[in-house]
Amino acid sequence: MEYKFINRYGNEILFIKEGDTFEMKGGDHYRYLYNVDDEGNFLNYNAIDPSGGPFISVGLDMEYIDNDLKGLVIESIERNDEEGKIILKTKLI
């Protein structure tokens, strides 16, 4: 199932649901917030912010995207650069 979010610039951001994950598509520029350890090694992503929004972070209830998704909370954000995918893993609370 697809959910569409129109950001403040009028761009469409798609959230494609497959099981307990969403693939996020759309936008032309993304800013990532992430953690690193004391040696500078990547640990995980905390948030993703496409130009114009929406700001998506771990712990966000997907109700922000669509009321039908209430209770699905983002558990992790993953990026697959080879496939050009952004994956949001969720859990039901």
In the chain, where the domains are located: 2-92
Tokens of 24: 């996020």
- What pTM, to 2 d.p., does this model score? 0.92
pLDDT in tens, 28-81: 889 999 999 999 999 999 999 999 999 999 999 999 999 999 999 999 999 998
Confidence of residue 83 (pLDDT cuts 50, 70, 90): confident
The gap from C-alpha 71 to its chain's centroid, in whole angstroms, comes to 16
Q: Are 56 and 31 a contacting pair, CB within 8 Å?
A: no
Which ranges constitute the DSSP H helices of the chain? none
In our burial notation (b when 16+ CB lie closer than 10 A, e otherwise), range 6-42 reads ebeeeeebebebeeeebbbebbeeeeeeeeeeeeeee
Tokens of 21: 């994950």
pLDDT over 90 (residue 27)? no
Q: Are 72 and 58 a contacting pair, CB within 8 Å?
A: no
